[in-house]
Structures are given as C-alpha cells and as structure tokens.
Structure 1
Amino acid sequence: MSGNTITPSATCSLSRAARELELRRGEFDLALHLGCVRSVPDEGGGGRRVARAEIDRVRAEAGFPEALRERVKAVGTTDGAALMGVTSTRFTRLARLGLVVPVKFYFNRYRVVVWLYLAEELRQFTTDEQNAPLLSGRTPEGLRDRLDEGLDLRPRNWRGRHMGFLLRQTEDSWARAAVVASLLDPVQVAEIVQDPYERAHLNRLRPAPVSQAAPDSPGARIAERITTADDPDEISWLRADLGQSVCEAREDHPAPRPTPVASTVAALGSAPAAPVGRPAGAPMPAAPPSPASAQRIARERFAAVDDPLRTTESARSRRLLGWLRRRNPDPRPPTAP
C-alpha cells in the first residue's frame, strides 16, 4: 500500500464529520464548497469522505466552532441589507448588478427563489471605502439604465461560483468536462461533443442536481433555468471551455465504447453452459452453440446491422431453395433401365 492511500478507518462520512465539527448539514456543505473543510474521494466509490486528520485540524483552529460557523454563515436579502446598513431594495440592486454574489439558493413555499449570501463577504464589501458611494445616495446613471433593461446577474454569478465548487472536488478529466457540460443546454453540448459515446459518458458523470424537487415539477424546472447558461457571453465562454476540457480528456483516456466485434464473437464462442438444475416440468434448455456456429451467428447478426438489404436477399434465396427441394425431394438423377 502506498503512503498516500487513505484507508476507510482514517476517514468518516460527511454526516459524521458535520456532527463532529458541530455544523448543520447546510453549513457543512458550504464549508466543503468554500474549502474550509477538505474532503477526499471514497476509494469504494461511495462519494466523498473527510479524513480524521482534517477534522482534527479544523477543531484545533482558534475560536472553534464559532469562528467556523461565522465563516459559513449565509443570510438572505433582509438580513444581508441589515448587515450592510442599506434598504432591501438597494441590496437587491447591488445583487442584480453582480456586486454581491449569492452562494446558494432555495425555493420558499410560494416557489419563489430565495438567494443567500455569505455574511463575511457582505461585511468585507461594506468596509471597503471604494464601495461607499454604492451604499448611499443615488445609484450611478449607467447602472440604473442596466437595471431598467432587466439586468440580473445573480443566476450567472451563482453558476460561476458553483462550477468552481464542483471543479475543486474532482481531478478526473472527463468529470471536469461533465461539470462544464452540466451548465449548458443539451443542444449546445451536442454541437461541441459530436461523438454520442462521449456525450453518454459526460451524462453519466453529470453532477447531481442542486434541487431536490421531483423531476418535471415546477421547482425542478425553475432550478433547471437557473443552472443553465442563458447569457450569450457566458454560453460562448462555456462552449470554448467545454471543447478544451474534452480535448484534454481524450488525451488522458478515451471515453468507454461498446465491445468490438471480435471480442463479441469470442465471447459467444466461449459462452459457459447453462447452470444445472431446472424446475419440474420445465423444458430442457437448448444446448450451447459450438464455436463455429457461434461465429456464424455473430457474423449474420453483424451483417444484418451493416447491410439489412443483403440480409433480406439471403432470406429470399433460402425460401426459393426450400420450395425447389419440396418440388423435387430426390435431387439425384434417375438411373438408366
């Protein structure tokens, strides 16, 4: 075993790590995304885990757990406006202009999107003297015009932040490409990744939905609109990033593809016999084909896929030969008297 391998006994599940770090699950998820707590992939393919050494490191930090909770504290519009000393209307304008970036969102009982922001970032924005003109007085005319045109950068800024979260959690080249593809419409992905097997591989590696709403529900459709790029500049940037990511993934290792024809023929020829034992009264199973018969069957199947017209002509020839044999059951010529 290499020295860098982390055994399961040296890690714990995410829920266990959240309890030991005295965080609610939403706070713990933000701690993972922000890099406050580092996770490692489960060697058994069960998702992410947290090393015991990482838990000990976080618990040993000064001010634990209050300082950690303050770093991952997220507030809505009302609390965020109070924290910055502005009205809720001004706070919403700052968010729509992209001056404060949401860190997550959820739907209330009226299916209205509620954006959440890091309290620590809002305090930093307020204490920056360069932002003082934005916190009081009239909004500059150029920014007001953009707001009147319907500008709202909250979804786009959240997508950029969320993509960064996901990319930091994986090192696999195809998984990183799948992260970028998850923010594009499927039509856009098909134009960039024209190989159907590569697209299928990206779909299998697609990150889990951010919304727990049932598929095709109103909440799921709203979440899909938020998580799909719609700005032309953003789409152009993501398309270029996806093309580059797929090229790097191809150089790393190709996407999985179906078994080649030769391997399929060999598998049919060496197929094991059916298991012994059958219910009473059940018909006897058919004997497995011989290697030669298996190869002939495989050739006929692949020929049917490659050239269905040739298969149809072969079937007609076999029917004609059968009819001739029935008309002349003894093909041998008659003997002389």
Structure 2
Amino acid sequence: MSDSTTTPSAPPATAPAAVRPPLASARAARELGLKRGEFDLAVRLGHIRTVPDEGGGGGRRVDRAEIDRVSGEDGFPDVLRERVRAVGTAEGAALMGITAARFTRLARLGLVVPVRHYFNRYRTVVWLYLAEELRQFVAEEHNAVLLTGRMPERLRERLDAGVDARARNWRGRRLGLLLREADGHWARAAAVAALLDPVHVAEIVTDPYERDHLDRVGQRWKPSRGTPGSPSADLAARITTAQDPDEIQWLRAELTSAVAEARASRPAPHPTAPAPAGHCPGTAARPKSTGPAGPVGPTGPSARERAGAHRRRTVAVTEPATTGTRQTDGCAPRVRERPAPSCRPPAPEAEPPRRLLGWLRRRDR
C-alpha cells in the first residue's frame, strides 16, 4: 500500500460577473413595456429611479438593478401603468362620477392639480390629471360636498372673479418634480430658473457665465415652445413661466438663495485670463536694457534686396539700444536700412572682369 496522499485540487476560480451598463431612457422604457410618456412620468413621480449619465451626455439612465426591481413588483406592469395613467377632463369627470363642467370648476379652483398638458390643433390647452389622484379625491369624505349639490359661496365668488389656478398649480408641481431630479446645487438653481422669465433671471444672476452655466445645466428641462414669436410659443410661455406677481416674487427669492448656495459649493466655470499684450507664446520676456548695447553684426540681405542689387546696395543692421530704453517693441529685432559706405569693396559680380584684365597685363610683360 502506498503512503502517498492525494491533495484535492482547488476549485476553479469563477470569473467576476460582468458589470451591466445602465440603460438609456428609450431602452429602459422598452424593457419595462411602457410608452415613452408613461416612462417619463414614472421617473418624474419617483416610481423609477435614475442615475446621471457618466458618458457626459447630460441625461439620465436607469441601472439594470432598477429594471429588475420594478419588473419584479407585484402586478407589474399593470399596476405601474395605472399609477402613471393621465386622463383629460371628460374621462376624469366620468371617473369621479360628476359632470365635465363641475370637474372644470374644481380644476380652476385648484382642488385637482394637472400633471401634464398639451396643445391641440386649435391651440387650446388640454390638461391631464392623474387617475390615481382623482380616485383619492373621491374617497375622502370631506370632499363629498364638492361633488354633489351647490358649490359653497366662497368658491363661487372665486369662480365669478375669473380664478384659474391650473397653470400655476402645474408649475408648482413641475418645480417639485424638477427638484427631485436635480443632482447638485447648480441643478437646483436651474430648476427654479426654468420657471422664471429670462429677464428676471438676468436681474438676479448678473454674471453672464453663471447664466450660461444655469442654461446648460437646465437644458434638459426646457419645454419645447415652437417657433419664437408664434402664437403657440407665446401661449406656451404663459403656461411654463410664472405670471402672478406673488409667484414671481417667491421664485426670485428662491433663485437668489439657490444661486448663493451653488456659488458657495462650487463656482461656475469662467474662461481663463488672456496672455499679456505684446507677449509672443513660447518666448521669454526680454530684460530691460541698463546700458548701451554693443555693436550688432550686419544681417544678411533679404530676397528683395538681392534681386535689386544692381540698383542699390544696402545692408540691414539692428539699431543699438540706448540707455533706459527697450531694444525692441515686438518679438523680433527692429531693422533699418542705410546706404553702404563708399569705401565698400566692389560687389562679387565685378570681380571676374578685374581678374581677366590683370591676367592680360601680366601676359604683356
């Protein structure tokens, strides 16, 4: 019998699970079986959590783990679809068991708050409401007097005065949803600025670079308003920006506070300072001359000077620096031309005839 023992081999190491990258919004909506509008509303309402896009696109993405969590909930996807189902006036009135006229009065009074809106072909605003919230409104006992019978007198007086709180309530709700998405102090400031007219933003944020930074951060939250100056664009602006004086005053105060917090946390990017005037990139600054400079050797003639050598002869020299003055004004020495001295030897082209004459004279001797 052999005394040798067999050592059991170690189990093979398992490769780490590959990290699954987060999904873009369109892909995540398809994975969950939702329409894009349903998906966006689910994100705004907090039913689906998102993460910032690390690729620099500025948007939001959904982790694979979040897709698994949402799809693993009981009653998926019907329960999630019902949570984000938005209905218009007629469908909402039928859901609450009241007439469309009474439903409109409740909406104008601000008792039911719209969650979305769009413009039809007649340029009329169509408000949409969460079906889940309408059912909750009906279920609350203290709202029973608003669903049947005559409206209370104080509410009738407000209606007679022309009150319509739908747009303002939508803006207030939108601000809360945007602040939920904001991932930083500048993003929170941009969410508030999205509800103000640019004139009010410029009065509060006087630095143009800070305004540009706010505009870039909040670009994804800007609604489409159509062609600037068109009737649809003007109508969209009246809905998406604050109109009431007290609402504007409150938003201005909120923006002032949010920008102050953003500056304290991280200043907005500014351009770098330009290089000093007269300085050539890549060259060191010339020291100031303290005394007369020595003579500088002549510089070779330029191509133009060589081409016109038969008309004039010049030599380029640098000016000697004088005491207490700079030698040059730019990056290259300043040169000037002066006539050549009369004792200068003949030019090279005159030498061949002189050598030939000397040879003939020596031959005659």
* TM-score bin (small chain): 0.7 to 0.9
Counterpart in the other structure of 1:37:
48
Aligned residue identity for 1:230: Q
| 1:234-269 per-position Cα deviation (integer Å, ceiling 9, x unaligned) | 1121111101101100100111222124xx349x74
The one-letter amino acid paired with 1:112 is T
2:65 aligns to what? 53
Q: Which residue of 1 aligns with 2:244?
A: 231
Paired AA for residue 67 in structure 2: I
Residue 183 of structure 1 aligns to a residue whose secondary structure is coil
Q: Does 1:166 align with 2:178?
A: yes
Q: Is the 8 A contact 1:182 1:207 kept in 2?
A: no
Of 2, 12, 21, 2:23 maps to 12
Between the aligned partners of 2:19 and 2:284, the Cα distance in structure 1 is 46
- Cα displacement (A) at 1:270: 3.5
CA contact (8 A) 1:103 1:117 kept: yes
Q: Equivalents in 1 of 2:244, 2:185: separation in Å?
A: 26
- Larger-gyration structure (1/2): 2
- Once the two structures are TM-superposed, the CA of residue 88 in structure 1 deviates from its matched residue by 0.5
**Is the partner of 2:20 in helix, strand or coil?**
helix
Uncovered stretches (5+) of structure 2, i.e. residues with no partner? 1-17, 287-336, 339-365
Q: Distance in 1 between matches of 2:177 and 2:19?
A: 24
Match of 2:81? 69
Distance 1:59 1:117 in 2: 25
Q: Residue 182 of structure 2 contacts residue 191 of structure 2 at CA under 8 Å; is this kept in 1?
A: no
Deviations 1:215-237 (A, max 9, x none): 44332221111011011221121
**Does the aligned pair in 2 maintain the 1:179–1:207 contact within 8 Å?**
no
Name 1:284's counterpart in structure 2: none
| Partner residue in 2 for 1:127 | 139
Q: Select the structure with the greater relative contact order (CA < 8 A; seq sep ≥ 6).
A: 1
Residues 109 and 155 in structure 2, CA contact (< 8 A), matched pair in contact too: yes
Note the residue ranges of structure 1 that are not aligned, 5 or more in a row: 1-6, 272-289, 294-328, 331-337
The structure that is helix-richer by fraction is 1
Q: Distance in 2 between the 1:254 and 1:291 partners? A: 33
Residue pair 1:166, 1:179 contacting (<8 A) in 2 also = yes
Q: Secondary structure of the residue that 1:143 maps to in structure 2?
A: helix
TM-score by length of 1: 0.75
Give the Å deviation of 1:10.
2.8
Distance 2:148 2:37 in 1: 33
Cα distance change, pair 229–212 in 1 and its aligned pair in 2 (3 A): closer
Counterpart in the other structure of 2:192: 180
Work out whether 1:241 is the aligned partner of 2:254.
Answer: yes
Q: TM-score, normalised by structure 2?
A: 0.69
Moved more, 160-169 or 119-128: 160-169
- Contact persistence 1:13–1:50 (CA under 8 A): yes
Instruction: Give % identity.
Output: 64
CA contact (8 A) 1:192 1:243 kept: yes
How has the CA–CA distance of structure 1 residues 230 and 107 changed in structure 2, closer, same or farther, with 3 Å as cutoff? same
Q: How many residues align?
A: 269
Partner residue, 1:21: 32
Q: Secondary structure at the match of 1:116?
A: strand
In structure 2, what is the equivalent of residue 194 of structure 1?
206
SS in 2 for 1:11: coil
Q: What SS does the aligned partner of 1:151 have?
A: coil
**Is residue 251 from structure 1 mapped to residue 264 from structure 2 by the alignment?**
yes
